[in-house]
Structure formats: structure tokens, C-alpha cells
Amino acid sequence: MSTKDFDWKLVLRSGLLGGAIAILLSLIGIVTGFNETYIIYKVITFGELLVLGPILAFSFAALRRTSSSDSGVRFTTGALAGLTSGLVLLAFVGIGQVINLRAVFVNASPDLYAMLSYNQSLPIGMLLRLLVSGLVGLIVAGFTLLPTRLKQALGQGLIYVILIGLMGRLIGTVMTNWGFVSLLFEWMFASSGMSFLGAIVLFLLVGGLAYWRAGRPKVKPRLEPKKQQTVRWATLAGVGLVLIFLPNILGLWFSEILDNVGLFILMGLGLNIVVGFAGLLDLGYVAFYAIGAYTIGVLTSPELGFFNLTFWQAFPFALIVALIAGVLLGLPILKMRGDYLAIVTLGFGEIIRLLALSDWLKPWLGGTQGIQRIERPVIGLGNFTIELISQQQLYYLILAGIILVAFIAFRLRDSRLGRTWMALREDEDVAVAMGINHVATKLTAFAMGALFSGIGGTIFAAKIGSIYPSSFQFLVSINILSLIIVGGIGSIPGVFVGALALMGLPELLREFAEYRYLFYGAALVAMMLYKPEGLWPEARLKLELHEDEIPPPGDPVPSTEGS
Amino acid sequence: MPMLEVENIHTYYGNIHALKGVSLKVEEGEIVSLIGGNGAGKTTTLRTISAALKPREGQVTFMGMDLRKHRPHDVVRKGIAMVPEGRRIFAQMTVMENLEMGAYTRKDKKKIAEDLEWVFELLPRLKERRRQVGGTLSGGEQQMLATARAMMTRPRLLLMDEPSMGLAPVLVEAIFDTIVRINKEGTTILLVEQNALMALSVANRGYVLETGTIVMHDTGEALKKNASVQKAYLGME
Ligand SMILES: Nc1ncnc2c1ncn2[C@@H]1O[C@H](COP(=O)(O)OP(=O)(O)OP(=O)(O)O)[C@@H](O)[C@H]1O
Ligand SMILES: [Mg+2]
């Protein structure tokens, strides 16, 4: 082994960082917090994974930067990086014995030290910790030496075991609905995490599948158009069936999440028109949601007793009011651009919430007490009617709303109006020079967005049954905007993906208790770094953010047409 | 009666007095060049004509209509198109979609298709690249696209703001060839340029603008021979 290939600084830096992050996670309390949460029962806890994870990640990073393919260099690099991390942990525990760190870091508890030294006496435990850290580095080094196909298989198997192990309880809530499948569940999972056997079977299954797939030839045989059509319809039918039975498949708890995600999709589709299509940064979007909900409330609640309409009688009024509000807000502000628009709309959103909260409008809007006993929507004809009350029933109402709104959004995007919005978004001056009436065009975008948000509001009111001003915080607008950005601004499928990621994921992360927003934040930052154009970007925008990947203008561009 | 008549316009940006009484005329069928240094007010003049800016004083008359009364998006319907400074094409739209935006105000599908053919014949490179996204075109191609897009409005008068800016000499020649061809086929052109030599060579008449005022006016040839123009704009001693 030549010393030239071996990079001391790299090893040291990676090792120190790995150790430091492990300590950071320990001091946050997350390591001890999950010391009882098993990923594989009696084998490894999530807490231990959080200590080993950073060590693994950074020795991997060090190895990735090591260009030498000499196995001696690689094993030394991995082992030393791991050992360095282990030494950092060692030092941390040592300092903890001398100085009472707990005075500053509440989580630097004896439990943590015990866990870091594997519940052994201090010298033996720390030696063990050091060995394990070094071993992790060695294993990683060995891993990087494997052929790609095997690496992929092992990596995927590992990731699946960890994810499924963590999600055990959630998967349980779904599977128990299913009768015989629940037997499988009992066998695969233990009281916490996966059973040892279950983990091994899953690992082999996923790994084997990945190995097999990596070995297949890449090019898929092209189906003839007619078959493609059939495949497409079959997929569509399959998706449709799944959507229809989803609440039954997933059970009550997931249906609640689905409903919430659905409402955000509904509103995201609307805001996507305003922000994504027309490029108007609207931060007060929650206002229209509130207006839709409150209109339903005022018109239907017997408590207020003004109108006592049914949900469906009140529904058109709610839409009209939301639409009018959109136009009224739109008129004065459409001359503004960018930042100014954002500030004014933000103010508008707050004004609406404060109005709902005010004593002045209390006789009509209920002030802090809000509006209770809002009518539930009833569907059906004649004697065959059902009132939509449960989350599982409301799911269908939301689904219908989404399908309608998504359809409209798709049509709008490809319409002349959609093109006009796009032109305005890209260059307002030039668009005007082409003869586009910018005020009218922006106003339609604003009104459309308001309308969709209003629809969301009405369903929200029906779903909750009672509304309070506190449901319409500024944060709602921000959440909707974020989901659009995460999904990919201007992209309709992106709204779905974004809503699932931003609104659905935190619910799934409930397992992580109070740390879930930590994971969530980390995931968001990572996403914005690696996929700044969003998870499902609009094809056009993708081009802009990855300009370096575009062939230089001189190159011929693949065209689908012959010339 | 001239096609376009600008009489003594004063345009301001807030307190900045950018145009201090500019007057010029464009007759039907002409190419008129407006030359001047940086910040002289050339772009401002064009933007005032196209009603994007309102002059505080003065008249803009196009084919007998008072243009100041129109809103900026109506001006194109009256027959005035603009090729803006700095190749402002719609970067995320394809070449085809950019051209379709040019025909935004027009209804007659058949005529639009004819004009599209004509534009493609004029600028064949655009036809090759009609499915390419505008932002990925080269600078010269973007300039061609901006010109073609303006032509798709079927203008009587085309306002062009520094079409040769930042282009290699070969491309400058090509752009000016295109300008002459467009003019031959019946479109009147008001051309703003810093490349005075080229601009004055193709122009019937020319105006020289300095700090918001027209300081000289003559035929293109005469201006090219004028000593002070040569000194200030043609780099000759
Ligand atoms: N939006 C604006 N706000 C304030 N001042 C402006 C604005 N646009 C232009 N000006 C000023 O008006 C004057 C004329 O500008 P204009 O853009 O018309 O010059 P130009 O002749 O087109 O110059 P160039 O050849 O560099 O494009 C300049 O002094 C400029 O600084
Ligand atoms: Mg200019």
C-alpha cells in the first residue's frame, strides 16, 4: 500500500464529523428516546442505528472520495474513519464522567452513557464501542469493493428492512383490517420492530429482487400502440379501483390522513394556478379557504339560525362569495409585482382571520367560539340518502372534488388562457406588447384560485362540523405554498406528490414522536438540495434549473418530427 | 400624412426627465433609424410610442389615431409590433409557442398559418428548431425568434430595439438582411441601434438622439457622411 493514495485529512475529517453528528443526535435526546424502539427485535434499536448511522454515512463518504481501488487502502480508510468516530464517542463519554454535562444538555444522562457503552462496565463497554465503530468502517469498505449489482441489492435490502422495521406499528394498523394477512404480520413483526426471521426474509426478498432486476437488460421491448392503449386503460382502471377502496383497505386512522392530504391537494391545485401558472406570489391564500368555510357555516348552522340551509343549498353561495372575494382582492393589487404582491396578500389573509375573530362580527361569525353544528352534506335521491359523516365517507366527497378540480386544472393549463398565464409569468412587458390584457388575465387566475380554495373550505367545514378562526392561520397558506414548491412549481402531479410528502409524511412519522419535525426538516433540506425543481417537476421548469445538463445550443436537438 | 408622427414628447421616470421634447416622423414603407449612445433615451422613445410609457407632454399619432389614448395591450391591434431590447423571448416556451404568442390577437387560422410559413422561409433556422425551448436557443437565434414573433402580429410598423446587440459580425449582417427583406415585403420599420454604420446604411432617414433630445436629422447616407456623426458614432476621426 502506497502512502500516497491514503488521505489522512479526509479520514480524520470524516471520522470526526461522523462522531460529532452521533453526539449531536445523542444530545438532542433522540438516541436515548428510541433506545427501546427496535428495528429488528432484540438485535438493533433505532437509537443504536442513530449512533451508527452517521459513522456509517461518513466512512462511506470518505470512501467515495478515495479514488484508489486498492483494497488495502480502502479497508484502512474505512476502518480508521470508523475508529476516529468511535474515539470521538469515547472522548464524549469520558468527558461526561468528569464534567456534569447534564447541567447544560439535559439528555446527557447516565442512560445515554450506559447505552453508548452497551450496558457494560465503562472500560469494556467503551472498547466494544470502539470496535463496533471500526467494524462499521471496515464493513462499509468491504461493501464499496463489491460489484455494483450486489451493492444495489444489499443496499436496497438494508433500506427496506430499516424502513419497514420503523413503520411496523403503522403497517400493523393497516394489516389488522385484513383478516388472514394479519397472520403474516404477526409472524414478520415482534412487539417492537421486525422479528429476526421476518427481517432476514424481507432482506433476502428485496435484495434478491433488486439483484434480479439489475441483471435484466435495460431496454424494454416496445409494445405496439394498440397494446399500449390497453395497458394504459388497465392501469387507469386499477388506480380507479384502488382509489375507490382505499379507505377500506387502509382503515379509519389512515382515512383521516387521506382526507387531510386530500384537502391540501384541493387547495394546492388552486394555488398552483395562481403561483405556478400565473406566477403571482399569493401568501394570503388561506383567506379564501376561510371564506368558503365560513359561508357554509353561516348559511347552514342551526346554532346561528340565520338561514338553516342544507350543505348543498349553501354550496353555490360559498363558491360565489369566494369568487367575488378573489376578484375584489385581485383588483387593487394586480398592478403590483413580486414581493409587494406577497406582502399585501399576506395582509389580506390576516385581515380575514381577524375579522372572523372580532367581537364586531361575533353575532354572525361567532368570534373565538366559531361556528358549530355545520350541516353535513347529504347525498342520494328520494329515500336513499346518506349523510356523509365519517372520515371514510367524506373521503369520497374529497376525491370527487379533487378529480373535478384536477380535470379543470389540466384543461386550463393546456388552454389558450393557460398559455397566456405562462407568457405573463415569464415576461409581463413582452406579453402586454403581444396584446395580452394583463389585468384581466391575472384576475382570472386569482379568481380561479379563490374558487378552488373556497371549495376546499366548504368541504373542510363539512368535515370538521365546526370552525374556529384558529383553523385559518397564516401557516396554512405557507403549507400550501410549500407543498407546491416541494412537488414542483406549476406541475399538477407535483401538487399530489407534494401534498403526500408534506402533509402525509409527518403523519407517518408519528412514530418519531416529538422529533418528527426534525426528520421532516432534514428531508426537506435534502430535497431542496438534490431536487430543487421539485419531486415531480413541470417539464419546462426542469430545463431551467438544470441548465448544465442541457446540450449546448449548437447541438442538434432530438425532434419527434422528421423535417 | 406620415404613418407615425411623434411630436415634442416629454417622458419621465418619476423625476428623471428622460425625453425632453422628441419629435420624429416615419413615412409608410420607410426604414428610419434612431441612433444614440447609452442612456440617450432610445428605448424610452420606443416604449412611449408603444404606449407602455405615458408622455407628460406631446403627441403620438399613428395612422391618424392618438396612441396616448390606448392601453399598452391594444397598441398591437392597431398594427404596431415591438422587438424588445435584449432578446426577451419566452424562455420556457418552444419556438412554435413563442410564435403562437405573437399571433395572440389574431383569429384567422389560415392567415396565421400562411404567416408562419413566411416567417419560417425568412428565418429557416427557426423552422429547424421549432420544438426547441426558447431559453436554449443561441443568442442569434433568440434575436431571430423575437423578430419573427413580432412579425407574427402582422404589423404595419415594426419597432426594433437594438437587434444587433451582442451578435457576431456575420449574424449582424444576417439580421440586417432580414430587416431589409421585411421592409421590402411591406412593413415599415423604426430601428433603434448603437451600430450606427449598419443602421444608417439600411435606413432611408435617420435621427440622432442625445440625452433625450433629437440633435440631428437627415437621410441615412447624409448622416453617414456627417463629420460629427462619424466622430461620435462611427469611430472615425
Ligand atoms: N425604469 C426606469 N427608471 C428610471 N430611469 C430610467 C428607467 N429606464 C430608463 N431610465 C433612464 O432613462 C434614460 C434613458 O434610458 P433608455 O433606456 O431609454 O436609454 P437607451 O438610449 O435605450 O440606452 P441603451 O442604448 O443603453 O439601451 C437613462 O438615463 C436611464 O437611466
Ligand atoms: Mg435601450
Structure ipTM: 0.91
Element (H, E) at B61: strand B57-62
Q: For ligand 1, say whether the CB of B41 is within 6 Å of any of its atoms.
A: yes
C-alpha cell at B67: 396612441
Per-residue model confidence (pLDDT) at position A484 = 92
- The reply to whether residue B73 touches residue A436, judged by beta carbons under 8 angstroms, is yes
Pick the CATH number of A249-544 from 1.10.10, 1.10.3470, 3.40.91, 1.10.260: 1.10.3470
- The reply to whether residue B84 touches residue A429, judged by beta carbons under 8 angstroms, is yes
C-alpha cell at A301: 348552522
Give chain B's mean pLDDT: 92
Q: Residue A450: name the closest of A404, A405, A499 by CA.
A: A405
Matching residue, cell 467515495: A64
Per-residue model confidence (pLDDT) at position A548 = 47
Rounded Cα distance between A22 and A33, Å, is 14
Instruction: Assess contact for B109 and B138: CB atoms under 8 A.
Output: no
Pairing of strands B65-66, B57-62: antiparallel
For the cut 80, the answer to whether the pLDDT of residue A523 exceeds it is no
Give the residue, by CA position, lying nearest to ligand 1 atom 19.
B39
For the cut 80, the answer to whether the pLDDT of residue A475 exceeds it is yes
Residues 397-426 of chain A whose Cβ lies under 8 A from any Cβ of chain B: 419-420, 422-423, 426
Average pLDDT of the residues in B78-84: 93
Spatial neighbors of A21 by CB under 8 A, at least 6 apart, are A54, A58
Q: For ligand 1, say whether the CB of B16 is within 6 Å of any of its atoms.
A: yes
Please state the separation of Cα A327 from the chain's center in Å.
32
Give the residue, by CA position, lying nearest to ligand 1 atom 25.
B38
Give chain A's mean pLDDT: 86
Segments making up each domain of chain A, as ranges: 3-145, 161-218, 249-544
Query: How many other C-beta atoms are found inside a 10 Å radius of the C-beta of residue A498?
Result: 27
For the cut 60, the answer to whether the pLDDT of residue A437 exceeds it is yes
For the cut 60, the answer to whether the pLDDT of residue A562 exceeds it is no
Pick the CATH number of B4-88+155-233 from 3.40.50.300, 3.30.390.10, 2.60.120.260, 3.30.1330.60: 3.40.50.300
Average pLDDT of the residues in A452-472: 91
Collapse the DSSP code of B87 into the 3-class scheme (helix H, G, I; strand E, B; otherwise coil) and give the result.
coil
Question: What are the pLDDT digits (tens) for A21-54?
Answer: 999 999 988 888 888 888 898 889 989 999 999 9
Query: Which ligand has the nearest atom to the CA of B14?
Result: 1
Average pLDDT of the residues in A490-515: 84
Average pLDDT of the residues in A406-410: 94
Element (H, E) at B167: none
In chain A, the residue whose alpha carbon lies closest to the alpha carbon of B139 is A553
Query: How many other C-beta atoms are found inside a 10 Å radius of the C-beta of residue A204?
Result: 12
Per-residue model confidence (pLDDT) at position A513 = 67
**Confidence class of residue A502 from pLDDT cuts 50, 70 and 90?**
confident
| Alpha carbon separation from A199 to A35, A132, A175 (Å, rounded) | 19, 21, 17
Spatial neighbors of A148 by CB under 8 A, at least 6 apart, are A214
C-alpha cell at B181: 427583406
Question: What are the pLDDT digits (tens) for A232-271?
Answer: 888 889 888 888 888 877 777 888 889 999 999 999 999 9
Q: Which among A426, A438, A544 is the top mutation candidate for probing chain B, defined by the most B β-carbons within 10 Å of its own β-carbon?
A: A426
Q: For ligand 1, say whether the CB of B212 is within 6 Å of any of its atoms.
A: no
The partner residue sitting opposite B84, judged by closest CB among A419, A430, A437, is A430
Rounded Cα distance between B137 and B118, Å, is 21
Average pLDDT of the residues in B203-230: 92
Rounded Cα distance between A295 and A259, Å, is 21
**pTM, to two decimals:** 0.81
In chain B, the residue whose alpha carbon lies closest to the alpha carbon of A542 is B92
C-alpha cell at A342: 406577497
Q: In this structure, which amino acid lies at residue A88?
A: V
Per-residue model confidence (pLDDT) at position A338 = 72
Rounded Cα distance between B85 and B150, Å, is 13
- The reply to whether residue A433 touches residue B52, judged by beta carbons under 8 angstroms, is yes
Give the residue, by CA position, lying nearest to ligand 1 atom 22.
B43
Question: How much of chain A exceeds pLDDT 70, in percent?
Answer: 93
Question: What are the pLDDT digits (tens) for A268-321?
Answer: 999 999 999 999 999 999 999 999 999 999 999 887 777 888 889 999 999 999
Question: What are the pLDDT digits (tens) for A163-207?
Answer: 888 887 777 777 776 777 777 777 888 888 888 988 999 999 999
Q: How far is the CA of B216 from the centre of ligand 2 (A)?
A: 19
Q: Which of the residue ranges A222-231, A366-375, B32-41, B102-111 would you say has the lowest mean pLDDT?
A: A222-231
Query: Which ligand has the nearest atom to the CA of B41?
Result: 1
Collapse the DSSP code of A558 into the 3-class scheme (helix H, G, I; strand E, B; otherwise coil) and give the result.
coil
For the cut 90, the answer to whether the pLDDT of residue A331 exceeds it is no
CB-based burial of residue A466 (10 Å sphere; 0-12 exposed, 13-18 middle, 19+ buried)?
A: middle
Per-residue model confidence (pLDDT) at position A85 = 95
Average pLDDT of the residues in B30-48: 94
Q: Residue A62: name the closest of A78, A86, A43 by CA.
A: A78
C-alpha cell at B199: 443602421
Spatial neighbors of B231 by CB under 8 A, at least 6 apart, are B237
For the cut 50, the answer to whether the pLDDT of residue A550 exceeds it is no
For the cut 60, the answer to whether the pLDDT of residue A561 exceeds it is no
Per-residue model confidence (pLDDT) at position A541 = 57
Query: Which ligand has the nearest atom to the CA of B209?
Result: 1
Q: Which atom of ligand 1 is nearest to the CA of B41?
A: 18
> Which residues of chain A does B91 touch, with a Cβ-Cβ cutoff of 8 Å?
426, 544
How many angstroms away from the CA of A412 is the closest CA of chain B?
16
For the cut 80, the answer to whether the pLDDT of residue B121 exceeds it is yes
How many angstroms away from the CA of B54 is the closest CA of chain A?
15
Collapse the DSSP code of A44 into the 3-class scheme (helix H, G, I; strand E, B; otherwise coil) and give the result.
strand
